[in-house]
Chains A and B, each alone.
Chain A
């Protein structure tokens, strides 16, 4: 007699548990469906880009549109490559992105050590000045810097493409925040052993800052790869252009040859996508840490 009600309660609990599991499963399913549909929508432009890039010129304007090109025109890529100096665009973009990243990382890491660990007159005021300029939109400094490049005779050279973007207050700020979190004890021990500041920087601070340095590197590389306005105004010859600038003029020249425009776009996107796939977590972290960068 006493057993029956307990069994009932157990059944009830089981049923409610089952219904909760069911509800959770349903919610997960809905989430998957929404994310999947949204994800397809996110990628559709890229799929269409690739599809168009492989079509014959006559098939590009077919309506209703065809997703699978037939026959597949791999030759479009060769034609695009020949239609503009894409080899130069690629080399220039790689040279500029890599150089700026290395310079930015080095100078920022040096300055950040100074701001976070060393004492000197005017340190905090100077750092405040660094911070203050982060708020000024880049367009304000672009005109005077363009004029400066003209006076130095640097326009249309790698110097103009690499040197001005290589000193970011932003990188210094990001690394300083990270260096502040490294415990002092490690440094003190090295100091007692007679290590110099450069030695401490190179053997203690840098090895402990791998995640922050990688984050800044990925951020800096991506910003440079996708940078547009600065390379647009400081280059004038076609062979000095980077991918983004080259594409902009390619659009002017081949405005209706969409198969070539899409092939050019695919070529410009592929390298950064590969970098993204391998270093995804650093991209995400750079945004979490700073809320800046990328466009």
Chain B
């Protein structure tokens, strides 16, 4: 039997045997992958060209969904604008705060592991739970944040109830949630910056500020690129915070693309329309990432 399996003649050559085992190993994962990812992507593509409410059979309508989204849906336009506002607000904040934090954590001080753990706690907790707390912190009358503001003589702000403050409030909270996460990535990058470069520059009389701009930042640029890409992709998908804290309001001021998709697909059951909106989200993310990949050659030093 075993002689038969290992012989090079006949059907069961060594290579064939290896390939069969390879497919067997692959099988459990690939079935799930093909159904829930590959097939799903194809179905989503087809679905986006239909009108379908889950009750009557889907009706093919070509590119009508995309056309309506792009030219004839003021809410979608507003939603795109809101999401862009969120991304433009949260990404620079994430980068600056988490880089600053990483620089502090990178210093040879005692208790660094404890500090890192503290800043990491918001990262491991669910967005839903922390959104509930932040909604309470932002309470316009008795919220803790407004109390701090009045304590230092500033007027109370109607954080989540006003169109101009609702999105900034969500941005601020999102940075609090994510900065520990990006700081860990920056920290890994910082530990790759060789100490002797700093020492050499210090002997040459470079100030800490100069060393940061001339040594740390250029050497950190691959990490910076990575953080930017991840942070932008994730920010475009913002949803949970808005659902819990503002329900997309007031006056749709915090309605985001994913929220729009959620409403259309799972509240109003406009499956085709929602699928088309998903693809537009994908195209935006893909385009921004592609542009970044193109631009990185100018500023990322490997």
Contact = CB atoms under 8 A, between A and B. Distances in A.
A107 B22 contact: no
Interface stretch (A80-88, A182-190, A220-228): A220-228
Closest 3 CB pairs of A and B: A167-B32, A111-B29, A118-B22
A114 B40 contact: no
Interface string A235-258: 000000001100110010000001
Contacts of B119: 38-39, 42
A133 B105 CA distance: 35
A181 interface: no
A146 B278 CA distance: 14
Given A115-B26, A229-B258, 6 more contacts: A45-B133, A136-B37, A140-B41, A147-B271, A232-B266, A233-B266
Q: Which of B15, B278, B285 has the most CB of A within 10 A?
A: B278
A178 to B, nearest CB: 16
B32 A163 contact: yes
A273 B109 contact: no
A140 B279 contact: yes
A144 B271 CA distance: 9
Interface of B: 2, 15, 18-19, 21-23, 25-26, 28-33, 35-41, 43-44, 47, 54, 101, 104-105, 107-109, 111, 115-130, 132-134, 136-137, 141-142, 144, 147, 151, 176-178, 180-181, 184-185, 188, 226-227, 230, 233-234, 236-237, 239-240, 243-244, 258, 261-262, 265-266, 271, 274-275, 278-279, 281-282, 285-286, 289
Main secondary structure of the interface of B (DSSP, over half): helix
Contacts of A276: 117, 120-121, 124
Contacts of A27: 107
B115 A147 contact: no
B101 A119 contact: no
10 contacts: A28-B107, A32-B109, A38-B119, A42-B122, A43-B121, A113-B25, A136-B37, A148-B40, A167-B37, A284-B184
Interface residues of A, number: 95
Interface of A: 27-28, 31-32, 34-35, 38-39, 42-46, 48-49, 52, 61-65, 106-108, 110-111, 113-115, 118-121, 123, 126, 129-130, 133, 135-148, 150, 163-164, 166-167, 169, 172, 194, 197-198, 201, 222, 225-226, 228-229, 232-233, 243-244, 247-248, 251, 258, 261-262, 264-265, 268-269, 272-273, 276-277, 280, 283-284, 287-288, 291-292, 294-295
Given A42-B121, A251-B244, A288 B25 contact: no
Contacts, number: 268
A287 B185 contact: yes
A114 B26 contact: yes
Contacts of B129: 244, 247, 265, 268-269
A217 to B, nearest CB: 14
Given A140-B279, A167-B29, A35 B115 contact: yes
Q: Which of B32, B101, B234 has the most CB of A within 10 A?
A: B32
Q: Which of B36, B133, B265, B285 has the most CB of A within 10 A?
A: B133
Contact of A143 (B126, B227, B265): B265
Contact of B141 (A44, A63, A129, A138): A63
Given A146-B266, A167-B33, A287-B185, A265 B41 contact: no
A226 B136 contact: no
A261 B142 contact: no
